[in-house]
Amino acid sequence: MVPLSAGGMFVPCGSSAPPDFEGFTLLLPAVSVGNVGQLAVDLVISTFDMLKVGYFYTDCLVPMVGNNPYATAEENSTDLSINAEVYSLPSKKIVVLQIRSPFVKNKYRSFCHTLLSWVKSSKCAKVILLSSSHAYQRDDQQLHGTPLRYLLTPAIQKIVGDLMQRLNWKEMEKIPAYPGVNDTEMVLHIPGGGITKLLFSESCTNGIQMAVLLKFCSEGDNIPDALALVNYLNEWLQLIKSEQNRDATTTCLQWKIPHSWRLLFGSGLPPALF
C-alpha cells in the first residue's frame, strides 16, 4: 500500500507491488452534469480493454459496489467493481482513475488534496480532467461555435499551449465576477462542473501539469456528449486512428461501447405492470 493523506490511498490489486506510473498521463472524470466525463472514461477503458491495477481507497466518495461494467464474457461478468478504480495502459503510458459515485458532502477539498498528493508521489507526468458544465448557464460569448472548451494550468501551458492553438481549440472563457457592477474582475465559472474548478485551481497553485477538457451539455441522453468529449481528447492524444467513411465526408472513430451501457436508462418496464 502507498499511504497518502488522511483522505485515501492507492491500493494495488492482489498482493502485487504497486505499478509504476512515472511519466504516465492520468485521466479522470469530474463527477459533473450528465456524467459526461465518467461516460467518456468508460469508452477509453472499454476500447483498450484496460487492465484494472488497483483501487483508490477514500472516504470522500459515497460507497458503491456493483458488477463488472466492462464484462466481455461470462467468466469476468461477476467481478465486483467499486466507487474508485485505477486502470492502466502501459503501451500508451496512460493510467485512468474511474469514479463511479458522487462525493460525500464537504469532502471535495479533502479528495482534491489526496488526489494531487497521489499524482505527485506516483510521479505522473500530467493530469487530464474530463468534465462538463450546464449548457443553459453559458454567457453570451460561450454560445458561439463549439460547445467544447479546455483549460491549462501554467505548468502545462508551456508544453502544450502551442498545440492547442494549432488544433484551433477554444479556451474556457472567464466571466465578470460582478456583472454590470464591475466588469474588470474576471473569474472562472463552471456551473455543474463538480470538483473541476477546485481541482484546477489547486493544480495551478501546486505547479501540477493539468488540462481540463469539458463540454457544455444538459441532463438527458448524454452518450453523444461523451463521444464528443472523448473525440476531443483523441484530437490531442491520438489514442485511436480515425477512419474515413466510404463517402470520405465524415471521419469515424471506433470507440467500443461497454456492456453496462445497455442499462443506462434502467432495464425497461416490467411486463407485469400492464
Distance CA 134, CA 146 (A): 14
DSSP 29: E
36 part of a folded domain = yes
Of 197, 218, 264, 194, nearest in space to 31 by CA? 194
Of 100, 21, 31, nearest in space to 258 by CA? 100
Distance CA 103, CA 128 (A): 19
Place of cell 488540462: 211
Say what the pLDDT of residue 182 is. 75
Say what the pLDDT of residue 244 is. 54
Say what the pLDDT of residue 6 is. 42
184 part of a folded domain = yes
Q: Which residue range(s) make up the domain with 179?
A: 8-273
3 part of a folded domain = no
183 part of a folded domain = yes
Of 241, 217, 245, 246, nearest in space to 231 by CA? 241
Domain total of the chain: 1
CATH number, position 59: 3.40.50.10900
Place of cell 488522511: 6
Say what the pLDDT of residue 104 is. 93
The rounded average pLDDT for each run of 10 residues, N- to C-terminus, in the chain (274 residues) is 52 80 96 95 95 91 89 78 93 95 92 93 95 92 90 96 94 86 85 95 95 96 94 95 58 80 68 67
Say what the pLDDT of residue 68 is. 85
- Provide the mean pLDDT of the chain: 87
| 8 A C-beta contact, residue 92 and residue 123 | no
Place of cell 469532502: 107
146 part of a folded domain = yes
Say what the pLDDT of residue 4 is. 39
17 part of a folded domain = yes
62 part of a folded domain = yes
2 part of a folded domain = no
Angle subtended at Cα 59 by Cα 57 and Cα 65, rounded to the nearest 5 degrees: 65
CA distances from 254 to 32, 40, 118, 230 (A): 25, 13, 32, 11
pLDDT in tens, 80-94: 888 999 999 999 999
Residue 14 in grid coordinates: 492482489
